[in-house]
């Protein structure tokens, strides 16, 4: 499926799901409590997002102080940014996805899955490589043999 078609479907289906859930919850508990729940989840999500953001920032600083590259931590920051947008969007479906992104173990697993799925080239043991062996060292280094000459001499 083309990415624009997928985005179109998401922008169509998610608001419809949100409206459906708001109507259903409102029919069960009433309009006032439904509005309170929507506002409460936004406030709770912002508070939890703040805590997770500072924790991620501390891990970024720690990794950089040790001389490492905080790649996973930076990606966690991006996921937290999306999570914040989802939590501030009124509705229960987006809040559920936003709260799931705030769980550190789930967030890291999702990032590692996405890295392996979309960034590993074929033949390196990642998904779609066709090798049934070890996913970390399925192939050795490639040596190219040949001759060359400089044209500018």
Helix then strand then coil, in percent of the chain rounded to 5, is 70, 0, 30
Q: How many independent structural domains does the chain possess?
A: 1
Which among 103, 122, 115 is positioned nearest to 72, based on CA atoms?
A: 115
Which among 48, 56, 38 is positioned nearest to 84, based on CA atoms?
A: 48
* pLDDT tens-digit map of 125-139: 544 444 444 444 456
Q: Which residues have CB under 8 Å from 47's CB, separation 6+? A: none
Residue 124 lies in a domain: no
Residue numbers of the domain that contains 44: 14-117
pTM beyond cutoff 0.75: no
Residue 41 lies in a domain: yes
* pLDDT tens-digit map of 24-81: 999 999 999 999 999 999 999 999 999 999 999 999 999 999 999 998 899 999 999 9
pLDDT at 110 over 50: yes
Six-digit token pair at 31?
């309009």
């Amino acid at each position: 499926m083309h990415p624009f078609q997928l985005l179109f479907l998401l922008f169509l289906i998610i608001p419809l799901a949100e409206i459906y859930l708001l109507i259903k919850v409102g029919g069960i508990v009433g309009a006032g409590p439904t509005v309170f729940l929507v506002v409460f989840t936004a406030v709770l999500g912002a508070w939890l997002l703040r805590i997770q953001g500072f924790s991620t920032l501390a891990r970024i600083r720690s990794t950089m102080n040790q001389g490492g590259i905080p790649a996973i931590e930076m990606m966690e920051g991006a996921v937290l940014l999306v999570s914040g947008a989802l939590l501030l969007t009124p509705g229960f479906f987006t809040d559920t996805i936003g709260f799931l992104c705030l769980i550190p173990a789930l967030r890291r697993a999702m990032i590692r899955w996405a890295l392996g799925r979309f960034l590993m080239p074929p033949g390196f043991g990642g998904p779609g490589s066709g090798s049934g062996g070890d996913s970390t060292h399925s192939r050795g280094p490639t040596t190219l043999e040949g001759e060359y000459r400089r044209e500018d001499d």
